[in-house]
Structure 1
């Protein structure tokens, strides 16, 4: 007999797992920049180079990602807490006053990210109330000396060595 899982308690238990923080970006149907804070980022394969992340089907920008051929994963560094908060909210214009660059695919690349992975959408999978996006990495860059922004138990933390 399956006992129903309390979704709030489940979410709290998941918060026991420390994650890095990313902002995944793409272009919307009219070419507008789209971005969301995501902590579900993970490596999948080295050969071919594949990464994954997931997004809730109720997300305001869900259709933009589902119809996009490319996305970029911007791994945040310590001190980018406010940037993470900005892209975690449903704002009319998350990009107001924010400078970014573009690489080959045209996806927004955030300045000072700890690492960036520019990807071609390779696969999507249904995952309950989320869709899992798998991307083939086309290009990447990283700062080997920086420290990541970490999210754990509902808050931002810093890595100590």
Structure 2
């Protein structure tokens, strides 16, 4: 990054820009979610996601950014719905599991079926079920805009955060 001693500013096309960009974004702590959807035959899909944000209050909408090669994105597209499961402080191992690509991840956690996709009831402190309103390809990811059709708080546990490549609990 340009703030480090001895580093020069990078310009688009410079091979070091991607690495420096990753370092920059590691300095931006964010909440952690698992985005879930259900494949056509009822197969649950899900992935850890920290690239999400609120978009609109009326209608209530949010966006998530999902890796374009992700089977979860394929299921979101085919089902036209998804769930954002906001993880609580005790869910670091689950965040790592759903970021690992383990094909048996749903066999290792407690979840229930939901109208928009799987609910991670044992690891989420809140969740939102969404219908897909639009998709926009952007580099390695697809921005998925979802209209929130239900939102529930499941517990009062503190949120799980991710920053500087570490998971931490929301401080009191």
Query: Normalising by the residue count of structure 1, what TM-score does the alignment of the two structures yield?
Result: 0.91
SS in 2 for 1:84: helix
Task: Work out which of the residue numbers 54, 73, 96 in structure 2 matches 1:85.
Answer: 96
Number of matched pairs? 160
> CA deviation digits over 1:45-88, x for unaligned, max 9?
00000011011112344322222211000000101001101100
Task: Work out which of the residue numbers 133, 156, 161 in structure 1 matches 2:144.
Answer: 133
Q: Does 2:125 align with 1:111?
A: no
Q: Give every structure 1 segment of 4 or more consecutive aligned residues whose post-TM-superposition deviation is greater than 4 Å.
A: none
Higher RCO by CA contacts (8 Å cutoff, separation 6 or greater): 1
Contact 1:24 / 1:38 at 8 angstroms: preserved in 2? Answer: yes
Q: Which has the larger radius of gyration?
A: 2
Which residue in the other structure is 1:69 paired with? 80
Contact 1:60 / 1:90 at 8 angstroms: preserved in 2? Answer: no
Which residue in the other structure is 2:7 paired with? none
* Higher helix content, 1 or 2: 2
Displacement, 1:95? Answer: 0.8
Which residue in the other structure is 1:55 paired with? 66
Q: Does 2:46 align with 1:30?
A: no
Query: Normalising by the residue count of structure 2, what TM-score does the alignment of the two structures yield?
Result: 0.86
Displacement, 1:2? Answer: 4.5
Task: Give distance in 2, aligned partners of 1:108 and 1:12.
Answer: 32
